[in-house]
Structures are given as C-alpha cells and as structure tokens.
Amino acid sequence: MTSSDDRPAAGLTDAEVRTIRADFPILQQDVNGQPLAYLDSGATAQRPRQVLDAERRFLETDNAAVHRGAHTLAGLSTEAFEDARVTVARFIGATSPAEVVWTANATDAINLVAYGMANASRGRGGADAARFVLGADDEIVVTEAEHHANLVPWQELAALTGATLRWVPVDDDGCWRAEDAAAVIGPRTRVVAFAHVSNVTGMIAPVEQVVALAHAVGALVVLDACQSAPHRPLDVGALGVDFAAFSGHKMLGPNGIGVLWGRSELLDALPPFRTGGSMITTVTMEHSEFMPAPERFEAGTQPVSQAVALAEAVRYLDAVGTDRVRLHEEALAQRMLQGLATIPGVRVVGPAAGVPRSGLVSFDVDGVHAHDVSQYLDAQGIAVRSGHHCAQPLHRRLGLVATSRASTYVYTTDEDVDRFIAAVGSIRAYFGADAAPAGVVR
C-alpha cells in the first residue's frame, strides 16, 4: 500500500480494495462452498497479515514484563509498549501519550470511568476528585440507542450514588437529534454518555452540539467510539469530549485490548477502581499512594503484545487513510440501502437512504426471524450479525426482538454487497414468508 499522503481525498477503488483484501488470510477461504463475504466487522474485524506478524515478531524476539526489569528484553518490551501508546495517541489526536490508558476492551474502559466516579462519590481521591462526586440531586444522561456497555455501567453508577439516570429518546427509525438531547440535559446533569456511531442504526451523533450542551451545565462527556475509531477520522481534542473508549478487535487489532482516552487533568484526578501492582508509588501496611495516569489505571500484567499489534493496526489504517475508509464504507452502506429498498418485506432501521450513516445496515425481514436470516446467508458464505446487538432498549422501542446487521470495512467489496442483496432478496420465498400474513414470523 502507498502512504495516505500520496492518495487523493476520495474513496477506495475496487482495485485498491482487492489489494487490501489480499492482506487478510482469513478472507481467502470458502465458507459452505462459497467465497467468504465477511459482513460482520461491526462485531469484530479481521486482522491483516501485517498485524499478525507484528505480534508474532514481538513474542518471538522481545517478550518480557514491562516496567519491571533492568535486563535487555524488559527494556525492549517496555519501549515497544510505550511506543504503541504514542502511536495510538497520535492516531486519535491526543495531546499526550499519558492520556491513553490500556484496558481490556471498550466495556472495561467505560466501567473504569463509571466505577472511578463511584469511588470518588465514596470519598476516595480527596479534593482532587470532587468533580466526579455524584449524589441524589444529580443526573446521568445516556440515549435510548446505547449499546449495553454504555448503559449498564451508568445504571450501576446511578444505583450506587443515588443519582438519576435519564435518556434521550429515539424516533421510529432509532435516531435522535441534538434538540432531543437539549430537552434532557439540564442543570442537574453531571455526565452525558453516548455513542459516536450507533452499532445498530449507523447513525452519526451530533457530537459537537451535545458537547456544548453538556459543558454549558458543567457535565462531563463520555464518548463510545467503538464504531467510529475504526471507520472514520477521530480527533478527540477537536470533538471536545472528556473521555472516549474503543476496542482493538474492531479496528484490525487483537482481542484483549481496549483504549480509554481522557483529558490529563481528569485522569490524574479520577480514583482508580482496579488496584494492585504497577500502579502505585508507595505501599505500607496501612496505606497506598497511586501513580499519575496512565499507570494509575494499569494494575497488574499488561497486554503488551496486544498493544504492539494494535499500534500496527493503527499504522495500517493510517497508510490507507481513515477518511478514505469512511468514504468507502459510507458508499457501501448506500449501495446496501438502495438494494434492500427494492426487496418487499424488508425494513431497514436507522437513517434513510441519502442521509449520512456509517457503513452498517440493520434490517428486519418480515415473517423471518433474524437468526434464520443469518443462517440462510451463512449457507451462501455471507457472514452477518443477528440478534439485539447488545441494544435491547433500542430494539424494544422499534418494536423488534432482533435485527440482522451487515457491516462493512476496508476490505469489503462491491461484490460482497451485491451478493448480500441478492441473497436477502430470496429469503422470504425460501421460508414461505411471502405467502404469510404480514408480521407473522415462521
């Protein structure tokens, strides 16, 4: 691949996508006798050979515990570990690498913030942590569209502190607007948490407007960037949020590593909730003192090879160009929407065709359960997600138990999408649903 500096500001050509696709060993296989069309990157992305090789190379030559030894391998592993932090910090527009905290995944990162605030509310962290203290007069605001990972931790924080959890409602398409948020965010709001991009509808949130609303009342903003960091340029400084979380496995990287970004002054004041070795300065039998961020949140043995691999995934995306990835995926989403619109009995949720959305499309096939849809497509070598996508309240609001979701990435081709559309077009006839009364699931 060539450097992103040599590329025009446009989406990827078919030839470029096929060159990229050749970097992914798993995509070279047949599934159920058909070439694999992998349309489940919203759940977990595949990894290019460069990322696999980077982790393997580290494990074969440099592997050792970081920040814990004076021997050569310890020094090499620590250098690689911290270089990965620098790479990721640069990728998301962080002011300093110290603003990047390694976590187990995005769910862990969001819990870190929520339970850190719970600890502050119990008196941990002293005066420096006062801005995180919540009580019965305070409110936490989320949206009705949130992934459970950005809902349940805030439910728990409300239960632990007596704060009230409120939410921004969605419309019949599963979308919400800045004016909807303005009607919920008020003087009692202390935290506003929402997804940059919905993992169900593909809706792109009005981040700047919500940040302005939240900061006007002194509230902190926590951004779930799981569906944005891998798929579009992410500049946390420009967005103005206070915390952001995303996972490695959704952006060409390994499982077992996530990222919490936070403003330095906030991270240094937030009490840790996971404690132990490596995150302390002094320990006596009666008391412990914690290091500044990011080490104060990185207790225990760290995901070192995973960090190295994630940094390589970031370099891969940089080489392609994240804005080109965005344009490529958005074009594929519109292609899917246009194709699905021609199929009777298919309901797409989320923004309408022509309205900006990310490269994923969730849909319901009248008369056929989402799991049957997924299995039918799988028989033809097409991998999609089925279920409630860890967003039960959103599906309940839409009057659906589950949907099927096709999600694209940098390696998705027009042919993948066209095969998908053709297959969806034959589902209702296969299950006899085209002859069933509307709304009857066989």
| Residue in 182, 181, 185, 190 with CA at minimum distance from that of residue 144 | 181
What is the fold of 54-318? Aspartate Aminotransferase; domain 2 (3.40.640)
Residue with token string 């965010």:
185
DSSP 297: G
Cα(230)–Cα(165) distance, integer angstroms: 29
Please list the pLDDT of the chain residue by residue as tens digits (442 residues).
333 334 344 899 999 999 999 999 999 999 999 999 999 999 999 999 999 999 999 999 999 999 988 899 999 999 999 999 999 999 999 999 999 999 999 999 999 999 999 999 999 999 999 999 999 999 999 999 999 999 999 999 999 999 999 999 999 999 999 999 999 999 999 999 999 999 999 999 999 999 999 999 999 999 999 999 999 999 999 999 999 999 999 999 999 999 999 999 999 999 999 999 889 999 999 999 999 999 999 999 999 999 999 999 999 999 999 999 999 999 999 999 999 999 999 999 999 878 899 999 999 999 999 999 999 999 999 999 999 999 999 999 999 999 999 999 999 999 999 999 999 999 999 999 986 555 555 4
Residue with token string 């403003």:
263
Q: Which of 355, 390, 400, 441 is catalytic?
A: 390
Q: Residue 237 has which token pair?
A: 């400084």
Helix (H) or strand (E) holding 166: strand 164-168
Cα(176)–Cα(350) distance, integer angstroms: 10
DSSP 262: E
In the chain, domain spans: 4-47+321-435, 54-318
Q: How many Cβ atoms from other residues are within 10 Å of residue 237's Cβ?
A: 13
The runs of H, that is alpha helices, within 188-321 are: 207-216, 236-239, 264-267, 304-320
364 strand-pairing partners: 347
Ordered DSSP codes for 376-441: HHHTTTEE-EEE-TT-HHHHHHTT-S-EEEEE--TT--HHHHHHHHHHHTTHHHHTTGGGSPTT--
239: alpha, beta or left? (left if phi > 0; alpha if psi -120 to 50): alpha
What local confidence, expressed as pLDDT, does residue 6 receive?
41
**Residues 241, 221: contact at Cβ < 8 Å?**
yes
Residue with token string 């913030």:
113
DSSP 170: -
| Residue in 207, 226, 200, 197 with CA at minimum distance from that of residue 350 | 200
What local confidence, expressed as pLDDT, does residue 355 receive?
87
CA distances from 185 to 106, 261, 358 (A): 24, 23, 26
Peptide bond into 294 cis (omega under 30): yes
Cα(320)–Cα(19) distance, integer angstroms: 11
For the question of residue 226 being annotated catalytic, the response is no
**Residues 121, 164: contact at Cβ < 8 Å?**
no
**Residues 138, 304: contact at Cβ < 8 Å?**
no
pTM metric for this prediction: 0.95
What is the fold of 4-47+321-435? Aspartate Aminotransferase, domain 1 (3.90.1150)
